Amino acid sequence: DGGITQSPKYLFRKEGQNVTLSCEQNLNHDAMYWYRQDPGQGLRLIYYSQIVNDFQKGDIAEGYSVSREKKESFPLTVTSAQKNPTAFYLCASSIRATGETQYFGPGTRLLVL
Amino acid sequence: LAKTTQPISMDSYEGQEVNITCSHNNIATNDYITWYQQFPSQGPRFIIQGYKTKVTNEVASLFIPADRKSSTLSLPRVSLSDTAVYYCLVVPRGGGGSTLGRLYFGRGTQLTVWP
C-alpha cells in the first residue's frame, strides 16, 4: 500500500528542546517537502529536497533543520531556535521537483508546553 | 512565481453545483493551474490540473479561458463531505532554478456545504 506517513500525530515540546518529526514515503519519489500551516492560514514551505543528500531552504527555514540520507526518509528537526513552533506540519513528496503533483502525509501537530 | 486570488469563503447547499473562481493575472507560459482540497487536520489532496480550455475528471471540472488569467473549479452536486478548503495554485512545469519546490498555497477558499 503506497503512501506517505508522518509520525507522531501529536508532539509536545518543552522550552529549549529539539524535536524531530518523521516523514517516510514508499512512492519512490525523488522530491520531498516540509510545510508549516498555522490556523486559518495556507501552507508555507520550510525545506525541500530534490534528491538524496541534497536539500534547499524554503521560505521559513530559520529554526529548522533537515536531512535526506535515504530516498524514503526526510526528517524535520524543530530546534530550540524556533521561537514559535506551535503549528501543523505537513510532509509531501512528488516524482520530481518540477511541478508534478505533490502527495501529502497526514500531518503532525506540534504543541509547546 | 505567479500568485493567485480566490474568495476566502463560499456557502452552498447539498446537491448544488459550486463554482470557485481563481485569478492569476501574472501566469507564465509554462505554468499550469492546479487545485488541491484540504479537510481539517489532514494534508491537502490533489483534485485537478489544467493548462487551457476544459479538463474534467471524476471529481471536478476546471475551466480556463483563452487568456488564462483566471480559472474556475466546478464541483457538481456537492455533498456535506465536500466541505473543505480549496486551494488554487499556479505551478511551473518542467522548469528549474528558483521555482523548484515553490508551490504557493494561499489561504484558499473555505467551502461550507449545508444540508
Per-residue pLDDT of B42-75, as tens digits, reads 999 999 999 999 999 999 999 999 999 999 999 9
The answer to whether A107 touches A89, Cβ cutoff 8 Å, is yes
User: Measured in whole angstroms, how far is the alpha carbon of residue B51 from the centre of its chain?
Assistant: 12
Supply the pLDDT for residue A77: 97
Q: Measured between beta carbons, which residues in chain B are less than 8 angstroms from residue A8?
A: none
Helix, strand, coil percentages for chain B (3-state, nearest 5): 5, 50, 45
pLDDT digits 0-9 by tens, B18-39: 999 999 999 988 889 999 999 9
**Nearest Cα residue to B23 out of B4, B37, B10:** B4
> Distance between CA B57 and CA A83 in Å, rounded?
43
CB contact under 8 A, B32 and A33: no
Cell 514551505 sits on residue: A45
Question: Length of chain A in residues, anyone?
Answer: 113
The Cα of B99 is separated from the nearest Cα of chain A by a number of Å equal to 8
Q: Per the CB < 8 Å rule, is B43 touching A31?
A: no
Task: Determine contact, residues A89/A104, Cβ cutoff 8 Å.
Answer: no
Query: What's the pLDDT at B98?
Result: 47
Amino acid at B69: K
Residues of A in contact with B49 (CB under 8 A): 101
Cβ-proximal residues to A9 (8 Å cutoff; 6+ apart), any chain:
A106, A107, A108, A109
Give how far Cα B16 sits from Cα of A49, B9, B19, B81, Å: 41, 16, 10, 13
Q: Which of B63, B66, B65, B88 is nearest to B76 (CA)?
A: B63
B:29-88 residues touching chain A, CB 8 A cutoff = 32, 34, 41-46, 49, 87
pLDDT in tens, chain A (113 residues): 569 999 999 999 888 899 999 999 999 999 999 999 999 888 999 999 999 999 999 989 999 999 999 999 999 999 998 989 999 999 999 988 777 789 999 999 999 88
pLDDT at B101: 55
Best to test chain A binding among B35, B103, B107 (most A CBs inside 10 Å): B103
Distance CA(B55)–CA(B48), nearest Å, equals 8
Location of C-alpha cell 509554462:
B30
- SS3 of B90, please? strand
Mean pLDDT of chain B: 90
What's residue B102's pLDDT? 66
- DSSP codes of every residue in A1-12: ---EEEE-SEEE
